[in-house]
Structure 1
Amino acid sequence: MDENSAKSEGEEKVQESFNITLRPIALPDVDDFMVWATDDRVTKFCLWDTYTSKEQAVDYIKNQAIPHPWLRAICIGDRVIGTITVDPCSGFGSCRAELGYVLAHKHWGKGIATRAVKMVVSTIFKDWPHLQRLQAVVHVANKGSQRVLEKAGFQREGVLRSYVLFKGKPIDVVMFSTLGNHSSVG
């Protein structure tokens, strides 16, 4: 067994040791939410700025997260350690959606985000039968998130130049995608 195989096998064991669940987020989750929303290490690659008050978090959960078409809390036990979203894309009779996720820093590098992404992929194409493509864009410097998507089976499609406004400036992103089983290849 080579070093990479051993590492991959070790990562799988780490992943399986956590009982990860996905559920809707709720207002009582605000203190857990604040753990990552106030952490500059976590928000470094997020489109939103680091939160500075609990009131901001309550407002977000109440007015954006709860009514979101598909946002789930990533949980270990009953503790929320991150969120994962699927946003429908619009235009051109869209059959695609965009994936996003955030995870508290202390849980990085343990396979949790990869596992959460795999859980979403295993259900979202059934939940949304019109969906053919699930895509994700990642800041070019966010190597950790790129690895998450690769491990979850997404294909890297390339760099999109000046694709997203990130904290007021256009940035390059890497596009990843996975297709539903019912997709046709032509």
Structure 2
Amino acid sequence: MCKSPVGSIILSEFGQSATLHELSCLMSDSGSQRQVIHPDTPFIEGKNAVLYTCFIALQDITLDMGPTTWLPRTNTKDAHEIFRDQSGADKDDFISKTPAVLGTLRKGSAAVFDSRTLHCGTANRSDKSRALFYFSFKSPKLAGSTGNPASIRRELGDARVTLGDLTSDLVELGKGNECELIGRLAGLMQ
């Protein structure tokens, strides 16, 4: 978060006041079926991105493990209107003609995306579980709901952890110093 492109992206998009919204691990067990294509948050008229999500591969993600498929540049109003089309014809045509990126990530690699981007996990045909550590930061400009419930323990969500506070504590932790925020959060979760 302090020195990586991940932290830089979130900082440049949302600033130091971005709040931690999600913190979890996404598991796809052997035999898991493909997800339907979806955005994590809807396109909200007049709003820019509300969440940026980072997936970090906890092992090499191979093609047979059901990697995430993203449809780049589908975080737009036009893409969401076509995608929400209930008749299906335009939606199917749109999906079939939109280029896709497959998330075959190496262990420790990260993928950062606007949560409005259409994506899905593919079927896990391997004999291993696929694990992605993930977190999302919420735009400080959004006062209400993101349209996506937080996947974070209530104690962490209620603590309103900002990017600025977290990076400051991580710098101190790296120096071997005690960390006020991390200590407070640990106390909340006991």
Q: TM-score category by the smaller chain?
A: under 0.3
Higher strand proportion (structure 1 or 2) = 1
- Structure with higher Rg: it is 2
TM-score in terms of structure 1 length = 0.27
Structure having the higher helix fraction is 1
User: Greater relative contact order (Cα 8 A, min sep 6): structure 1 or 2?
Assistant: 2
